[in-house]
Amino acid sequence: MRLPTRQIPSVLPGIRGTLRSGRPTRALIPRLKEGDIAVIDHVDLDRSTALAIAAKGVIAVVNAQPMVSGRYPNRGPQTLAEAGIELIDKIGEAGLEKLVDGRKARILDGEIFDGEQLLTSGRALDQESLESDLEDAKRGLSSHLELFTHNSSELLKREEEVLLHGNGVPPLDTPLAGRPVVVVADHPDLDRLLGDLKGFLREQRPAIIAVGPAAKRLTKKQVRHAVLVLGPDTDTYPEPKVLTSAAEVVLAPGGSASESAAELLDRVGVQPKRFESSLAPEDAALLVAYTQHPSLVVGAGLSTTLTDFLEDQRPGLAGTYLTRLALGPTLIDASAVPAVRRREPRSRRLVLPVLAAVTALAIGIPAGVWAADHDLTEIGTGLGAGFGSGFGGDAEEGAAASTTSGRSETKTDPQTAESQFVEEAGAALLPGKLTGQRVAILALPGADAKTVDTLTGNIKTAGGETTGVLDVRPNLLDPDRKQYVDSLSTQLVKQLGRGDADQATYQRMGQVVGETYAGTKPPTEFDQPAKTAAVALLTGDLVTARGRPAGPADLVLVVLGDDSRDTTAVEGLVEGLGATAKGLVVAASTGSEDLETLRANDWPGWFASVDGIETATGQVAAPLVLARQRSQQGGDFGASGFGGLLKH
């Protein structure tokens, strides 16, 4: 009897994936997953769409249309090829119908199979064929430009009042006159562009106008102060809580009917201002900003080059071109900001606001309110004559003033002058501010030990008692140790009998640390559950204590160190601490990205922050802000930026 033999299946050549098909392409992109084969119907694929497709991790793109039709040299196909994605085009409508969404497929040499069954075929594109197509397309560019110019001329006739005179643009309640404005539009590279603007946003505090779905990329704090400009397509709208959180909403339906958009906004309780024009929402947003007379308009995610204009598949492309002409030199692109942003000498940024800010903090006035009625530049200029040219004043005038008063003409180093002034001011302002208050200091990994020692000394100068310095070990924030931190924090919350066991891992651990070393109603000494928790934290190599902690504290000072790759753990820890302490202040060095992330959250009044703690200014500010926290006032302060020690 012959025994059956097992057949070894042959491995068919090619690449395999799941077909994902849909029209229009922008509706397909959210459904794409890593390893998929994207099936599109998109003539002259543009770079912006290609970037969004490539970001999904697809292995191939199959197009019913030609990737490059020859009208102009579009950059989308080359973008996909450079990302290592296989390209097939010109499969036609019949081929498109055979590539059913969700079906498994295999691609080989421009042919698409289901197993061994051929479904359809097209033209396989490589770098050589793409370069040839793009070279041919350059010859068709002139006719495309002629059409573009004609459309621009026709649009200008229809929209002359809006484009040239601003008639019909709704006025905003949000004040923009004399302020920089950032107009944010949805774009695959938007996160990078906003990252490039981080320093500009921090220093200039510009107004923000977000177009449609771009509002989803803003922080809660940014959305709360932003103007949203929406088009007629309600599918692109952010969620209702974003719509209702915005400072105000402008509805710019373009040439489309907007009844459904108006009804949706009415249902969520938003009464928009209407901009009746055929211009696209992105262009309407620019004109809304421009007619309010801002000092500068920065575009993030907008078309900027001729190729961008030609690739843009939106209707009303001529409006995009004419709008930018109308704004002229007022408009710059976000990518240019890091290169041209004015960088003042650091000493000047630190010195000018010191006197006003420290005084405002010392007498308990919110410094941001004080600054609104005072021109700090003029104050700085006045000081410049006394201290010499280090403050930015005229050197000869400073020398003449010194000679007239009989003083030495020796120039004073501005950084030394700033440190000396702040130390003298601190010696006069700190005593008594923290009398009777116990402060716990929590130093995160990378926090400078000398800075922590100086902060500890200044808290004592202010009359406060430090209950000890707790150093957070890297293990507590290590993603690989998260399971251990989760288990331990759950156990300790139960043992303490305080805190919320339903919170996320790091929020729960923050509560454990807070309830152990502080608490909203701290006893005079550690109780037994707190002692048990303290031992567990120490023996688990999650924290180390400098000396023996002297009981629970009233206030907590968190000193940030090295920036985290993922701030989730730091945010959770701070949130948990804030929920359990009478008052909390987070302090960090100038330029701390972790502090910027924390400040972007919509924290309750328990959160206050101080930056620039590597300077004498920040080191004096920290205990003063701790003193303010007894009344739960919150606020962001610091020694860096244009506001100095001012509330952001």
Pick 648 or 380 by higher pLDDT.
648
- Supply angle C-alpha 190, 196, 201, rounded to 5: 100
> Mean of the per-residue pLDDT values for the chain?
77
Strands of the sheet with 248-251, listed across from one edge: 273-274, 248-251, 227-230, 207-211, 180-184, 296-300, 331-333
Per-residue model confidence (pLDDT) at position 140: 62
How far is residue 637's CA from residue 644's CA, in Å, rounded to a whole number? 8
Q: Are 19 and 102 in contact (CB under 8 A)?
A: yes
How far is residue 336's CA from residue 197's CA, in Å, rounded to a whole number? 9
Q: What is the largest CA-CA distance in the chain?
A: 122
Q: Kindly write down the DSSP assignment for every residue of 29-52, as one continuous string.
A: GGG--TT-EEEE--SS--HHHHHH
For 613-645, b/e burial (b = at least 16 CB within 10 A) is bbbbbbbbbbbbbbbbbeeeebbbbbbbbbbbb
486 pLDDT higher than 70: yes
Per residue, the 3-state secondary structure of 284-323, as one string, reads HHHHHHHCCCCCEEEEECCCCCHHHHHHCCCCCHHHHHHH
Q: Are 626 and 601 in contact (CB under 8 A)?
A: no
98 pLDDT higher than 80: yes
Q: Could you tell me which residues are beta bridge partners of residue 63?
A: 40
339 pLDDT higher than 80: no
215 pLDDT higher than 60: yes
How far is residue 288's CA from residue 291's CA, in Å, rounded to a whole number? 6
Q: Are 346 and 615 in contact (CB under 8 A)?
A: no
Per-residue pLDDT tens over the stretch 123-138: 999 888 888 888 887 7
641 pLDDT higher than 50: no
Share of the chain above pLDDT 90, in %: 24
* 395 pLDDT tier (thresholds 50, 70, 90): very low
644 pLDDT higher than 80: no
Rg (CA), the chain: 31
Per-residue model confidence (pLDDT) at position 318: 63
521 pLDDT higher than 80: no
Per-residue model confidence (pLDDT) at position 143: 61
Per-residue model confidence (pLDDT) at position 35: 93
Query: Which residue is it, tokens 């543009």?
Result: 46
Q: Are 330 and 599 in contact (CB under 8 A)?
A: no
First to last CA, the chain: 89
Structure tokens at 601: 């959250």
* 210 pLDDT tier (thresholds 50, 70, 90): very high
Per-residue model confidence (pLDDT) at position 305: 57
